Amino acid sequence: MKETKFSSITGKTSLVGVIGDPISHSLSPVIQNAALHKMNLDWCYLAIPCKPDNLESIIKCLSKINCKGLNITIPHKTNALKFCNHVSEIATKVGAINTLIPDNDDGWIGTNTDVEGFLKPLGLEKNWESRNAVILGNGGSARAVLLGLEKLKLAEIAIIGRKETSITNLINSLTSPNGNIKGLTQDSLQLNEYIKNADLIINTTPIGMLQTNNTSCIDSEIPFGEKIWDNLKPKTTLYDLIYNPRPTKWLEIGKEKGCIPIDGLEMLIQQGAASLRLWSGIEEIPIDIMRKSAKDHLLN
């Protein structure tokens, strides 16, 4: 099979892609096409803009043209569940899908690789058992992170958000709520203590993310303001799901205090590799190539 290059796309080239809105900023075409080239797969990965009202028709149409697989991103990860013939157990638990796999009935199997992608950068060699974690935010990303953290057998997980009801709803939505999961609002008097005792802190909010015009997507560039992070202890792992900018101001603050920074680029790469593995049936995915292509693109 010929290498997949834009100059050699033919009538035999198969389609894979990502559906979202907006989608022009997505790094997924960069990393996936780099991998497809290395794997000698005659596929082309495209970013497919899709308004919510068009989601069903686009998903159904793509199932009819031998599309090899799709990623689903904001704002469609929950609504796309309705258009799957089958949904995996992990996607059901997360309540969202990010990957569609063709089935034999001109339809889709929905699954979610976000949990796997989140866990990989934490490293299997490090023992997280009996340590403390803090999750910033209580949206859809926080749910996938929470399911991932449950696998690490942590001593305690604290979820910090703006509204108590939203935090409580997130905790109660778990199939088996664990007593070691606590919810706090961002104005809680206990907040400083939880930050001080944390071994791992994950930012699932969009605070600090750049828009396509290189401005911060919201007024504040640091989750919950700068003052609270005076309580960080050295060696705490700070994991920001944001990958643009690299690093975020929050990770810069942590690094100055001797913390261990992880940004969201590796999660994006790992969840993308997991999706490609499911579509292709090939176990060995060129993750180093995906990583290099992403970093080169961000530098430019």
243 assigned binding-site residue: yes
189 assigned binding-site residue: no
Residues 253, 251: Cα–Cα separation, whole Å: 5
15 assigned binding-site residue: no
98 assigned binding-site residue: yes
Buried/exposed 214-243: b ≥16 CB within 10 Å, e otherwise = eebeeeebbbbeeebbebbeeebbbbbbbb
176 assigned binding-site residue: no
270 assigned binding-site residue: no
175 assigned binding-site residue: no
Instruction: Let me know the angle formed at the C-alpha of 176 by 121 and 173, rounded to the nearest 5 degrees.
Output: 80
Q: Count how many Cα atoms sit within 13 Å of the Cα of residue 1 in the half-sphere of its side chain.
A: 15
> Could you give the residue ranges of the DSSP H alpha helices within the chain?
28-39, 55-63, 89-94, 114-119, 140-150, 164-172, 191-197, 249-256, 265-280, 287-299
140 assigned binding-site residue: yes
Question: How many other C-beta atoms are found inside a 10 Å radius of the C-beta of residue 186?
Answer: 15
152 assigned binding-site residue: no
221 assigned binding-site residue: no
Which one of 5, 12, 38, 77 is the catalytic residue? 77
220 assigned binding-site residue: no
Closest CA to 16 of 50, 42, 40: 42
138 assigned binding-site residue: yes
293 assigned binding-site residue: no
Tokens of 133: 């974690």
Q: DSSP letters along 258-291, please?
A: T-EEE-THHHHHHHHHHHHHHHH--S---HHHHH
Report CA Rg, the chain: 20
77 in catalytic set = yes
List residues forming the annotated binding site.
26-28, 73, 89, 98, 114, 137-141, 241, 243, 264, 271
What positions carry a catalytic annotation? 77
Provide the annotated binding site for NADP(+). 89, 137-141, 241, 264
Annotated binding site for shikimate: 26-28, 73, 98, 114, 243, 271
